Amino acid sequence: MATYSLNINETLYEVDVAQGTSLLWVLREHLGLTGTKYSCGIAQCGSCTIHLDGNPVRACVLQVDNVANGQKIKTIEGLSENGDHPLQKAWVEAQAPQCGYCQSGQIMQAAALLEKNPNPSREEIKSHMNGVLCRCGTYLRILEAIEMAKEQTNTTS
Amino acid sequence: MKNISKKAIAPIGRRQFLKSSGGAALFIGVSGLLPNLISCTDAKGMEGQFAKHDVTAWVRITEDGQITIYNPAAEMGQGSMTSLPVIFAEEMDADWSKVDVEFSPQESDIYGSPGWQPGTKLMFTVGSRTTNSYYTVMRNAGAQARYVLLHSAAKHWEVPLEELTTGASEIMHENSGKKISYGALVPYLTMPETLPDFNDGGLKDPKDFKLIGSLIPRTEIPQKVDGSAQFAIDLRLPDMVYGVLERGALHGAKPTLNNESDILAMDGVLKVVPFNYAIGIVASTLEAALAAKKVLDITWSDAQASGFNSQEIYDVYAQMASAPEKGNTVNEVGDVDQAFRTAAKTYEADFKNDYVYHAQMEPLNAVVQVAADGQSAEVWVGSQQGPDTKLGIPDLLGIPHEAVNVHLQYLGGGFGRRSMNDFVLECGRLAQQMAPKPLKLLWTREDDVRYGAYRPLTLQRLKVSADAQGNLSGFSHCVVGDGGNLVASGARNDHYTIPNQWVEWREASHGVRLKHWRSVGHGPNKFAIEAMLDEVAHDQGTDPVALRSKLMADSPRALATLNKVAEISNWDTPSPEGRAKGVAFVEHGSLGTGVCEISVNRNTGKISVHHFWIALDAGVVVQPDNVKAQMEGGIVMGLSSVLKEQITIVDGQVQQRNYDSYALLRMQEVPDSIETIILPSAEHPEGVGETATPMVAGAIANAFLKLTGKRLRHLPFTPDRVLEVLIG
């Protein structure tokens, strides 16, 4: 066991876990940040997508040891104050989720795109989102939501 | 079904479920009992009612006008959390902006909808039955709630009930100009001596619907975009411990653990629990449980599936289809043998489909807490429920039904997998050993894939006869495979008028776990039927829509979907160079015809689907946008399974482990558009969750035939198989 301090959603958390523990289990089972989901554990589905220093990464393949050096971790719980990030609003507007399980990962993946490229093309969006699986098949509404949020961000900024 | 004593129904669970605030709950009696009305703050009174009567609470109203409606169905993305309360609110004339929705208790004798047998009730979110089976239940209950409000206002104002009208949570008395909101009426609520059954008359005319058929955002979506929606996997309880099982890749094999003492010596490991088909580990943390699972040294026995090779079984199935003895009759119309004897031309083809896996994004899991004395249990689970809404836990623990309290959570996908509650029982067994600590059981993705319960592999031999005028005179469909209705559903043709038809099932058995998979047998069977029709049309030089149009002459609702989809897809206009369109019809409660437009990369064998059009008749549509979402999702899941998905078995061992070896359709592979037209109807609502998926294979195979002149007859249409067909 070892103690790690993690900078998550601009809050410092201390956690005692075994070395090498997956960041996903730390977030979900030790800290209760359960918006980040487990689905494959091998970085194939994107359900556990979070931001590490602004980049979208899969929490399931990160070890806690490697993210406890002041890196900024952002989870769906920290994406916006009241669930009102332009993407979250667009997601509701498009009625994108079905079961909803993959949607935190989808939104975090999309948020990282818009931060770097506020005006992505449809093909750029598809390529960027390709790593996040949705079994309910909501891809077209996710696309619609991202395009909606992109337009909204661009007209208000 | 077990006969449960009325008195025994747990008061605690239901008292808890209504505990959250004041106001009044309308308890509407079932089975002829008198209705009751009771204040939610009167805990004693409520308990008394629960103990005395088999009552149902569908709604709670508080003085501030807030209304809570209880949803009896599982929510797995199909929208029950909105559609059923909308139906209730429509008849109640509730102000939808003041409606909250919560899950009802899991008590099917109270909250069930009519089951498969007359007089039975079920809480079972399967077979696209939710809206279909609850429509009359929710309408009647909503109308009864409105009646109680009307009755109370009539008494309060001392006016005849017949002079009152309602609208958006208000009651009006036109003659006196009086008005009162539902919330303000709470202190004056009184119960009539009897309640009418509004299914006998008095429900709204569908043309007066304000909520049903309108665009209402789904109630649970905001929680699903901020990460707060709770799935069972998200549950954390004080003192909770974690369980995992190692099940092996050979279904049914028995384990012998060779290193139990090493495992027990590992950090955090609390217990090793042997199962007939697995080794269970309980640990204080999830990571400790998973670390121990990885180093288990297990010797596995043989099982029924030993020696079974899935891709080699088709030859055996083909021989079985050729055997002279007939199988189990699924459907018989006229005399198909006579039709073939007198036919001017006959056609025959074999269609095949490999195993597919559910791949719901939330792996199976549950949390169970057994009381220290072992006499009661709490269960948190995402389940499609079942004939036993307590999911087998009472029998497992040897305790009464009412001693188990099930807290239904959102399902991270169901697709049929969560109508099988093997994982709940596993969790119960481990939790029993750890009582009173709560235990969370997690299946890893590898567990979920390898110990899955698949849609069965089948071979289908279709034979068609045509008379001298080219009319179809006989249609014979022989399904060979394991699983009974799992392979036979959807093999009937109830909307094609063919005078002589024969459907049979020839049974195989391999010891591979099987289960309903979205649309069940309809996927493979509609593929075979629809592809076969186009093979005939191709040979006859007939247009596929024209052929179906003739066959649907006696089924105007089906025909309307065909005509409409032909119109919106511009069927008669040729596709751009290198593309072609294909059509397929499906009935699965609702009736739908789909058209897709595809292209094929002749170097790689990759099929791209560019557009999908659907015309759907689902009767009354409660939530049109949600129905479209179900069509979109159903098509995407269909595309994924038809183009990519495949479980293969070698010497009984499942070959796939995770999403790296079991590929699902991704964002870059979706069509440019999926367009759904819902045909207006005042008929009873039919299910929509499983109508789109079975269209996909037939529509693609038919477009492929038009584009290339070649026939795709084996699912999935992987690039390798497509290339083989193109070259062959």
Q: Give residue limits of the domains in chain A.
A: 2-78, 86-156
pLDDT, position B2: 32
Does B5 have pLDDT greater than 70? Answer: no
B263 vs B272: CA distance, rounded Å: 8
User: What does the alpha-carbon distance between residue A103 and residue B222 come to, in Å, rounded to a whole number?
Assistant: 11
B673 close contact with A: CB closer than 8 A:
yes
Sheet (strand B345-353) strand order:
B328-333, B500-507, B472-481, B458-466, B345-353, B714-715
Q: Which residue has the higher pLDDT, B107 or A67?
A: A67
Q: Which of A39, A79, A141 sits opposite B445 (nearest CB)?
A: A39
Mean pLDDT confidence for B172-185: 95
| Closest residue, chain A, to B234 (C-alpha) | A34
- B232-303+364-442: same fold as B6-214? yes
A chain contacts of residue B413, beta-carbon cutoff 8 Å: 99, 101, 135-136
How confident is the model over A16-44, as a mean pLDDT?
98
Predicted confidence (pLDDT) at residue B30 exceeds the cutoff of 60: no
Q: Which of residues 320-339 of B touch A (CB under 8 A)?
A: none
A95·B229 Cβ contact <8 A: no
Q: Chain B: give the shortest CA distance to residue A78, in Å.
A: 9
Of B286, B637, B670, the CB nearest to A135: B637
Q: Do B285 and A141 touch (CB under 8 A)?
A: no
Tell me the ipTM for this assembly. 0.98
Closest CA to B594 of B613, B578, B607: B613
Residues B361, A92: C-beta atoms closer than 8 Å:
no
- Minimum-distance CB partner of A44 among B267, B626, B658: B658
CA distance A109 to chain B (A): 13
Q: Which of residues 564-623 of B touch A (CB under 8 A)?
A: none
User: B82 pLDDT exceeds 70?
Assistant: yes
B141 touches chain A (CB under 8 A): no
For residue B25, what pLDDT is reported? 64
pLDDT value, residue A143: 98
**Which of A40, A106, A132 is the best mutation test for B, with the most CBs of B within 10 A?**
A40
Superfamily of domain A86-156: [2Fe-2S]-binding domain (1.10.150.120)
The whole-chain average pLDDT of chain B stands at 92
Contact A100 B218 (CB under 8 A): no
Statement: residue B196 has pLDDT above 90 = no
| Residue B671, phi then psi, degrees to nearest 5 | -65, 160
For chain B, the structural domain boundaries read 6-214, 232-303+364-442, 326-355+454-727
Check B412 against A101: CB less than 8 A apart: yes
Cβ within 8 Å, pair A37-B362: yes
Which residues in chain B have their CB less than 8 angstroms from residue A17's CB? 285, 287
Q: Would the pLDDT of B200 be above 60?
A: yes
CATH of span A2-78: 3.10.20.30
pLDDT digits (tens, 9 = 90+) for B137-158: 999 999 999 998 999 999 999 9
Q: Are A119 and A145 a contacting pair, CB within 8 Å?
A: no
Average pLDDT over residues B329-336: 97
Chain B residues with beta carbon closer than 8 angstroms to that of A34:
227, 230, 233-234, 236
Provide φ and ψ at B567, rounded to 5°.
-70, -50
Parallel, antiparallel, or unpaired: how do β-strands B472-481 and B500-507 relate?
parallel
Q: Around A151, how many Cα atoms within 13 Å sit in the side-chain half-sphere?
A: 7
Residue of A nearest to B240 (CA): A29
| Chain A interface mutation, best of B125, B220, B226, B286, highest count of A Cβ atoms under 10 Å | B226
Torsion of CA B130, B136, B137, B138, to 10 degrees: 80
Contact B406, B367 (CB under 8 A): no
Helix axes B130-157, B80-92, angle to 10 degrees: 30
Mean pLDDT of B384-405: 95
Q: What is the pLDDT of residues A91-117, one digit of tens each?
A: 999 999 999 999 999 999 999 999 999
Contact A87, A114 (CB under 8 A): yes
> Is the Cβ pair A83, B222 closer than 8 Å?
yes
Please identify, in words, the CATH class of the domain defined by B232-303+364-442: alpha beta
* Amino acid letter, A151: E
**Nearest one of B486, B594, B467, B478 to B540, comparing CA atoms:** B467
Report the pLDDT averaged over residues B544-573: 98
Q: Dihedral of the CA atoms B83, B87, B92, B96 (nearest 10)?
A: 30
Question: In the prediction, which pLDDT does B149 show?
Answer: 92
Interface probe for B, chosen from A89, A132, A139 (most Cβ of B below 10 Å), is A139
pLDDT score for B107: 85
Nearest alpha carbon to residue B376 among B5, B661, B12, B4:
B12
Confidence grade of residue B16 (pLDDT, cut at 50, 70, 90): very low
Residue matched to tokens 């039955």: B129
Average pLDDT over residues A59-68: 97
**pLDDT band at A142; cut points 50, 70, 90:** very high
Residues of A in contact with B230 (CB under 8 A): 34
Chain A residues in contact with B625 (beta carbon < 8 A): 95
Q: Is residue B117 packed enough to be buried (19+ CB in 10 Å), middle (13-18) or exposed (0-12)?
A: exposed
- Smallest Cα distance from A65 to chain B, Å: 14
How high is the pLDDT of residue B54? 41
Q: Does B207 touch chain A (CB under 8 A)?
A: no
Contact B659 A40 (CB under 8 A): yes
pLDDT band at B361 (very low <50, low <70, confident <90, very high): very high
For B631, the closest chain A residue by CA position comes to A137
Strand, helix or coil for residue B365: strand
Interval B400-406 mean pLDDT: 95
> Strands, E, within B308-457: which ranges?
328-333, 345-353, 365-370, 377-381, 385-386, 404-408, 439-442
| Band of pLDDT at residue A155, cut at 50, 70 and 90 | confident
Mean pLDDT of B16-34: 47
Average pLDDT over residues B237-257: 97
User: Hey, are the CB atoms on A99 and B362 less than 8 Å from each other?
Assistant: yes
**pLDDT reading at B712 higher than 90:** yes
Whether A99 sits inside 8 A of B412 (CB atoms) is: yes
Task: Residue A99: list chain B partners with CB under 8 A.
Answer: 76-77, 360-362, 410-414
Number of Cβ pairs closer than 8 Å across A and B? Answer: 178
According to the model, what pLDDT value does residue B36 have? 52
Chain A residue with CA closest to B382: the answer is: A99
Provide mean pLDDT across the span B469-479.
Answer: 98
Mutation for A interface: B76, B218, B361, most A CBs within 10 A: B361
Closest CA to B597 of B692, B699, B726: B699
Looking at the complex, report in whole angstroms how far the Cα of residue A157 sits from the nearest Cα belonging to chain B.
23
In 3D, which of B507, B509, B489, B367 has the Cα closest to residue B416?
B489
Closest CA relative to residue B410, chosen from A1, A68, A100: A100
Instruction: With a cut of 50, say whether residue B699 has pLDDT above it.
Output: yes
Q: Which residues, at least 6 apart from B401, have a Cβ–Cβ distance to it below 8 Å?
A: B2, B4, B8, B388, B390, B394
DSSP states along B20-52: T--SEEEEEESTTPPPEEEETT-HHHHHHHHHH
**Gyration radius of chain A's alpha carbons:** 15
Q: Would you say residue B6 has pLDDT above 90?
A: no
Per-residue pLDDT tens over the stretch B411-423: 999 999 999 999 9
Instruction: Report the largest interatomic distance among the alpha carbons of chain A, rounded to a whole angstrom.
Output: 50
pLDDT digits (tens, 9 = 90+) for B222-232: 999 999 999 99
> Beta A2-8 vs A72-74: how paired, if at all?
parallel
Question: What confidence category does residue B34 fall into, taking pLDDT thresholds of 50, 70 and 90?
Answer: very low
Mean pLDDT of B505-512: 98
- What percentage of chain B has pLDDT greater than the value 70? 92
Rounded to the nearest angstrom, the minimum Cα separation between A112 and chain B is: 16
User: Contact A92/B660, CB-based, under 8 Å?
Assistant: no
Asked if B694 and B588 count as a contact pair (C-beta separation under 8 A), the reply is yes
Task: Decide if B579 contacts B569 (C-beta within 8 A).
Answer: no
Amino acid B187: pLDDT: 85
Contact B361 A133 (CB under 8 A): yes
Compute the nearest-CA separation of B686 from chain A (Å). Answer: 19
Chain B residues inside the 8 Å CB shell of A98:
76-79, 629, 633
A107/B668 Cβ within 8 A? no
Q: Which of B411, B442, B671 sits opposite A99 (nearest CB)?
A: B411
Beta-carbon separation of B225 and A92 below 8 A: yes
Q: Which residue has the tokens 């959603």?
A: A9
How far away is chain B from the Cα of A152, in angstroms, using its nearest Cα? Answer: 18
Lowest mean pLDDT segment, chosen from B15-19, B67-71, B376-380: B15-19
Average pLDDT over residues B670-686: 97
Q: Indicate the range of A21-35, B12-26, B712-726 predicted with least confidence.
A: B12-26
Q: B661: buried, middle or exposed (CB in 10 Å: 19+, 13-18, 0-12)?
A: middle
> Is the pLDDT confidence value at B8 over 50?
no
Domain topology for B6-214: Aldehyde Oxidoreductase; domain 4 (3.30.365)
| Res B339 pLDDT > 80 | yes
> What are the tokens at B497?
């008028």
Least confident of B189-198, B583-592, B602-611: B189-198
Residue B51 near residue B189 (C-beta atoms within 8 A):
no
Task: Tell me if chain A has a CB within 8 Å of the CB of B34.
Answer: no
Asked if A35's CB is within 8 angstroms of B227's CB, the reply is yes
Nearest by CB to B225, from A41, A83, A137: name it. A83
pLDDT at B56: 55
For residue B638, the distance in angstroms to the closest alpha carbon of chain A comes to 9
Q: List the alpha helices (DSSP H) in B502-623.
A: 522-540, 544-551, 556-568
**What pLDDT, on the 0 to 100 scale, is given for residue B23?**
61
Is domain B326-355+454-727 in CATH 3.30.365.10, yes or no? yes
| Residue B10 confidence (pLDDT) | 31
Please judge whether A135 and B413 are an interchain contact, meaning their C-beta atoms are less than 8 angstroms apart.
yes
Per-residue pLDDT for B707 more than 90?
Answer: yes
> Distance between CA atoms of B561 and B679, rounded to whole angstroms?
8
| Cα(B475)–Cα(B346) distance, integer angstroms | 10
